[in-house]
C-alpha cells in the first residue's frame, strides 16, 4: 500500500528516519553503519540487477541522513496526499549521490512528504547504483579521498562554452526511471494521477538522471522537470522538452558560473525558470539553517501553480 498522509501520522519509514536522525547527529561528516530501515511500501520495479556487483545493498548515515549504496534492485515508494486533497499532479523524486549512493532521507522521503502535503502524488525512485567497496571502512576512505577542486575561470568563452564531460553509462538508471513512469501511468486511476501532469525532480546525480531521462527516454512524456543542484553544462534540447525549473547555489561546486543548460532551454524556446541562490552549497535538500536556498521549494510549488500543473481537472 502507498503512503497516505492521513493514515501515516507517524509513518514507519519517516518515524525511523526521525529516530535515526536524532540518535546520532554527526556534524563532521563521519560515516556510520546503519541497519536498513523498513520500506513496507516500496514496490519492486523488476528492472534487473547490476553486473559485477561485489556486495549486497547496505545503508549508512552521514550528516544525520540515511543513505543507501550498492543498490541492485530498483523500487518505487508512493507518498500520496490525504484523500480529498489530491490535485492530480504527480512527481517522480530522484535522490542524488553520484550514482554510487542515494540520500534517501534528505533528497527522497522528506521531499516526497512535502509534495504530498501540497496535494501532489510523489514517488521516490530508488534506482540502481554503481558498485562501491563492500566494507564500510573502505567505502568511507573512498568517499573521503582527496579530490581536485576546479577553480572558477575568468575566461568568458570557457564559462559560456564549458567542455562537456564524458557521457556516463546510465542505461540501468534510465531503465529504472522509465519503469517508474510506466508504473505510475498504469496505476494512475488507483493513485489519483493525471497522466498529463507527471513530472520529475532530482537532486545532484538525481538531477542528472532527470535531465538524462528528458533528453534520451523514448517512453517518458514528462510534463515538467526540476533539476535541483545538477550539472549546468549545455545540452541538446529535444523538440518535446518540457518546462524546466532549475535551482543551484552560487557556492555549489557544480555551478562555477556556468548556465549552459539554462541557455540551451531558452534558445530552444522552452519555458525555463532559474534560481541562483547566494548560498546553500551542495546537497541542501529542502534546506539547511540560514541559507537563502531554503525557499526553493516554495518557489517550485508557486511555479507549478502558475503554470497550472496543480489545477484539479
Q: How would you write 48-95 as a 3-class SS string? A: CCCCCCCCCCEEEEECCEEEEECCCCCEEEEEECCCCCCCCCEEEEEC
User: What's the whole-number average pLDDT of the chain?
Assistant: 88
Question: Burial of 123 by CB count in 10 Å (0-12 exposed, 13-18 middle, 19+ buried)?
Answer: buried
C-alpha span between 78 and 124 (Å, rounded): 7
With a pLDDT cut of 70, the percent of the chain lying above it is 84
CA dist., res. 109 & res. 104, Å (int) = 6
The whole-number pLDDT of residue 19 equals: 34
Q: Which residue has the cell 546553500?
A: 280
Q: What is the DSSP letter of 278?
A: S
| Residue 125: strand pairing partners | 76
Q: In what order do the strands lie in the sheet with 32-34?
A: 32-34, 58-62, 65-69, 101-103
User: What pLDDT score was predicted for residue 4?
Assistant: 56
**What would the pLDDT profile of 245-284 be if each residue is shown by its tens digit?**
999 999 999 999 999 999 999 999 999 999 999 999 999 9
Residue 88: all three cell numbers together: 492530480
Phi, psi of 32 (to 5 degrees): -115, 145
Out of 160-174, 215-229, 289-303, pick the least confident: 160-174
Q: pLDDT tens digit string along 191-235?
A: 999 999 999 999 999 999 999 999 999 999 999 999 999 999 999
In the prediction, which pLDDT does 43 show?
98
Lowest mean pLDDT among 130-134, 166-170, 230-234: 166-170
Q: pLDDT band for position 142 (50/70/90)?
A: confident
DSSP state of 13: H
**Range with lowest mean pLDDT among 50-59, 97-106, 304-313:** 50-59
How far apart are alpha carbons 92 and 184 in whole angstroms? 9
Q: How far apart are CA 121 and CA 189, in angstroms?
A: 12
Q: What's residue 16's pLDDT?
A: 39
User: Where on the phi/psi map is residue 151: left (φ > 0), alpha (ψ -120 to 50), or beta?
Assistant: beta
Instruction: State what percent of residues in the chain have pLDDT above 90.
Output: 77
Q: What is the residue extent of each domain of the chain?
A: 3-142+168-306
To the nearest 10°, report the CA torsion of 204, 207, 212, 213: 140
The Cα-based distances of 267 to 150, 207, 236, 263, 272 in angstroms read 27, 21, 10, 6, 10
Q: Which helix (H) or strand (E) holds 304?
A: helix 296-306
Locate cell 541559507: which residue? 291
pTM of the entire predicted model: 0.87
| Apex 106 CA angle, 68 and 34, nearest 5 | 35
Q: What is the pLDDT of residue 152?
A: 55
**62, β-bridge pairs:** 65
- Containing 263, the helix (H) or strand (E) segment is helix 260-267
Please say whether the structural domain 3-142+168-306 has been given the CATH code 3.40.50.1820: yes
Task: Evaluate whether 234 touches 263 at the Cβ level (below 8 Å).
Answer: yes
DSSP H or E stretch at residue 296: helix 296-306
**For residue 21, pLDDT beyond 90:** no
d(CA 307, CA 283): 27
pLDDT of residue 11: 39
Three-state DSSP class for residue 275: strand
Amino acid at each position: 500500500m502507498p503512503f497516505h498522509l492521513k493514515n501515516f501520522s507517524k509513518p514507519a519509514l519517516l518515524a525511523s528516519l526521525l529516530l535515526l536522525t536524532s540518535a546520532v547527529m554527526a556534524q563532521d561528516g563521519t560515516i556510520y553503519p546503519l541497519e536498513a530501515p523498513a520500506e513496507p511500501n516500496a514496490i519492486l520495479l523488476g528492472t534487473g540487477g547490476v553486473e559485477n556487483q561485489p556486495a549486497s545493498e547496505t545503508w549508512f548515515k552521514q550528516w544525520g541522513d540515511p543513505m543507501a549504496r550498492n543498490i541492485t534492485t530498483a523500487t518505487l515508494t508512493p507518498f500520496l496526499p490525504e484523500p480529498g486533497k489530491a490535485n492530480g499532479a504527480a512527481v517522480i523524486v530522484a535522490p542524488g549521490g553520484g550514482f554510487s549512493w542515494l540520500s534517501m532521507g534528505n533528497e527522497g522521503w522528506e521531499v516526497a512528504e512535502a509534495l504530498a502535503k501540497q496535494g501532489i502524488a510523489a514517488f521516490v525512485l530508488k534506482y540502481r547504483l554503481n558498485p562501491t567497496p563492500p566494507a564500510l571502512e573502505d567505502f568511507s576512505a573512498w568517499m573521503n579521498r582527496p579530490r581536485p577542486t576546479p577553480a572558477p575561470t575568468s575566461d568568458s568563452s570557457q564559462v559560456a562554452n564549458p567542455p562537456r564531460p564524458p557521457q556516463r553509462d546510465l542505461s540501468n538508471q534510465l531503465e529504472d526511471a522509465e519503469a517508474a513512469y510506466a508504473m505510475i501511468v498504469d496505476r494512475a486511476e488507483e493513485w489519483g494521477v493525471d497522466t498529463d501532469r507527471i513530472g520529475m525532480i532530482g537532486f545532484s546525480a538525481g538531477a542528472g538522471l532527470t535531465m538524462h531521462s528528458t533528453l534520451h527516454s523514448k517512453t517518458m512524456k514528462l510534463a515538467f522537470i526540476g533539476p535541483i543542484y545538477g550539472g549546468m553544462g549545455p545540452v541538446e534540447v529535444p523538440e518535446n522538452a518540457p518546462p524546466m525549473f532549475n535551482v543551484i547555489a552560487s557556492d555549489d561546486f557544480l555551478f562555477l558560473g556556468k548556465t549552459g543548460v539554462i541557455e540551451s532551454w531558452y534558445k530552444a524556446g522552452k519555458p525555463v525558470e532559474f534560481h541562483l541562490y547566494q548560498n546553500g552549497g551542495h546537497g541542501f535538500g529542502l534546506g539547511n539553517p540560514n541559507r537563502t536556498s531554503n525557499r526553493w521549494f516554495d518557489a517550485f510549488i508557486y511555479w507549478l501553480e502558475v503554470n497550472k500543473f496543480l489545477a484539479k481537472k
